[in-house]
Amino acid sequence: MARCRICRQKASIFIPHHRLPLCDEHFVSWFENYLRRTIQKFRMFSREARILVAVSGGKDSLVLWKALVKLGYAADGVFIDLGIEDFSFLSRRVVEDFAATLGRKLYVVSLQKELGFGIPALKRRTKKYCSLCGSIKRYFLNWATRKFHYEVLLTGHNLDDEASALLGNVINWSIKYLGRKYPVLPAHSGFPQKAKPLCRFTSFEIQEYAKRQKIKYIKESCPLSSEAKRLVFAEMMDQLEEQMPGTKLRFYLDYLRRAFPIFQEKVEDFLDHKLVTCARCGEPAISSPCFICRLKEEYQGA
Ligand code: SF4
Ligand code: ZN
Ligand code: ZN
């Protein structure tokens, strides 16, 4: 193994995208500095902002939360309890313990309490439960950000997630997504400002940071997971990266620099719906009552 670029001691990691060999200590400081620089580069939020991090119990969101707190940001967490038996129970416990060691506030939103049912009840009635689950999570994350008076909602999406989702959007020419696919989205129409500060980090780098910071996270994936199309794009992206190292980062960053402004200009022409405010819950939606209020009604007593 090569020598650390900073201290010349034996390196413990090599970061291919940056051609950087580093020791444990300097990898951790590189990670945190690069995170700070990403936040500044994309003007994601100010040092004083009230930040809410969506945490699932997985490595990405816990790493994000920990690194932000180490950098001095006032970041609290929100966890959506999906009611998926052992998986939700264990994830919730991991997140609660983590919040306690960080010394930051954690909000738990339970679907059982807010909706009257969890994701398993959805699965019994529809094959589309995964896409509904995604929409439900997004709804309650927006809802919680507003309810608890935070300015910015952060998610732990990493470079692998962003590059594979981008590939999927390009293959399907989903212009309405391409025109909004940016690491920071300003608040609009009742939605809070959103940002993805890990967008320039690979899954590998995040995992190595978690290891060095001794972060305990949930390694299992959701037991209800069906083989999603997104996995196909992730595998395709991995193959491209293997054949042509650096493709992932270049594909994503060149998109942000060169293609995003073009799609952004046209995005309004491709939106299918105008946003309204749900008359029942007050959240922004494409119709009133919104899909959550309709689901509540439909599943009463289910
Ligand atoms: Fe929800 Fe599990 Fe499907 Fe993910 S895999 S969307 S957590 S049901
Ligand atoms: Zn070093
Ligand atoms: Zn509603």
What is the 289 CA–ligand 3 centroid distance (Å)?
5
44-265 topology per CATH: Rossmann fold (3.40.50)
The pairing of strands 276-277 and 284-285 is antiparallel
214 φ, ψ (degrees, to nearest 5): 50, 45
Residue the block writes with tokens 């299918």: 272
| Ligand 1 atom, smallest distance to 131 CA | 6
Q: Is 114 helix (H, G, I), strand (E, B) or coil?
A: helix
| Mean pLDDT computed over 232-255 | 94
What is the 139 CA–ligand 3 centroid distance (Å)?
9
Any ligand 1 atom below 6 A from CB of 133: yes
Which residue's C-alpha comes closest to atom 8 of ligand 1? Answer: 130
Please state the domain extents for the chain.
44-265, 272-302
Which residue's C-alpha comes closest to atom 6 of ligand 1? Answer: 130
Any ligand 1 atom below 6 A from CB of 215: no
Ligand lying nearest the CA atom of residue 7: 2
**pLDDT tens digits, one per residue of 95-134:** 999 999 999 999 999 999 999 999 999 999 888 899 899 9
79 φ, ψ (degrees, to nearest 5): -125, 130
Q: Is 277 helix (H, G, I), strand (E, B) or coil?
A: strand
> Comparing C-alpha atoms, which of 153, 205, 180 is closest to residue 265?
180
CA dihedral 29, 34, 40, 41 (to 10 degrees): 160
The residues with which 276 forms a beta bridge, in sequence order, are 285
Any ligand 1 atom below 6 A from CB of 119: yes
**pLDDT tens digits, one per residue of 125-171:** 888 899 899 999 999 999 999 999 999 999 999 999 999 999 999 99
